[in-house]
Amino acid sequence: MRTLWTIAKREYNQYFNSPIAYVVMFMIMLVLGIIFAIVVRSSMQSALQSQMYGGSMSAPDNSPITGNIVFLLVFSIPALTMRLVSDEMRMGTMELLLTAPVRDWELVVGKWLGAFLFILTIVALTLVYPLILNGLVENGLDQSKLLASYIGVMLVAAALLGLGVGISSMFTNQIAAFFLTMGVFIFLWWLIGFPAGLVQGNSSIFEYLDMKAHFYDTFNTGRIMLADIIYYVSLTVLGLFVGTSAVEMRRWR
């Protein structure tokens, strides 16, 4: 555990030494800020309209914000994970880590944990938007819904980072790792959902694999389902397993 923590800590600090982390942080906050402004503005307009013409409207909730955090993570995580393991190989420091008393899985999981803590930091910063919204809405936001959505965000982040670390372990070249990671994300997030609509009859396997459905249909509407938790945790474990195997295989070359 101590070794794991040492590696995670170094990785976490590393992010604050590199511009890419600040760029990612800035972009996420900026885009979310814009979306937040639009959400607030349109809610106010519809509130005004319902006051003038009667009728009912639902109070705004956190779902546009958390929904977009997840969307932004799909695009930014490849940039955050691409160098995690591949850079160690390029710099030759892999030789150092693989000859220190560090198990291969500790190395991979430590890297993942460092990146996960960094994403948690960003996600914590985004809490500012729901908090503002909470003040704007009468009676406040539905807090259990907010909690469910954020648990979902963390699980999605964990899974994406797991896959990213796994792919980074297979390459010495960061750019190759970046594009493959992005490709896998696009596939799991968007493309895999299409066959579900096309295939007649039993399309449940495609529906099950669709990564976005496990978030938007449940967590983001305030429901926590065990099946979704299992789905994201499985993806995380799969990514970390691939990463550990890749590091191990590198020794045999």
- Residues lying near other proteins in the complex (CB under 8 A) are found at 2-3, 6-7, 10, 14, 17-18, 91-103, 251-253
Q: Which pair of structure tokens corresponds to residue 91?
A: 């710099």
Q: How far is the CB of 7 from other proteins (least distance, A)?
A: 7
Place of tokens 């519809």: 46
Q: In this structure, are residues 86 and 174 in contact, taking their beta carbons and an 8 Å threshold?
A: yes
Nearer Cβ to other proteins, position 8 or 153? 8
Shortest distance in whole angstroms from residue 2 CB to other proteins = 6
* Nearer to other proteins among residue 100 and residue 226 (C-beta): 100
Sequence-ordered list of residues with C-beta below 8 angstroms from that of 228, at least 6 positions apart, any chain? 152, 155, 214, 215, 218, 219
Q: Alpha-carbon distance 62 to 198, whole Å?
A: 32
Distance of CA 24 to the CA centre of its chain: 13
Shortest reach from residue 20's CB to other proteins, in Å = 13
What is the C-alpha to C-alpha distance for residues 70 and 63, in angstroms, rounded to an integer? Answer: 11
Min CB(88)–other proteins separation in Å: 9
**Smallest distance, other proteins to C-beta of residue 253, A:** 8
Give the span between the Cα atoms of 150 and 28, in whole angstroms: 16
* Nearer of residues 48 and 249 to other proteins, judged by Cβ: 249
Write down the residue that tokens 């909690």 correspond to.
Answer: 147
Nearer to other proteins, 14 or 134 (CB): 14
Q: What's the closest the beta carbon of residue 6 comes to other proteins, in angstroms?
A: 4
Token reading at 187: 């596939």
C-beta of residue 32 within 8 angstroms of C-beta of residue 126: yes
Measured from the CB atom, the residue of 100 and 227 that comes closer to other proteins is 100
∠ CA 31-119-37, nearest 5°, is 20
Measured from the CB atom, the residue of 103 and 223 that comes closer to other proteins is 103
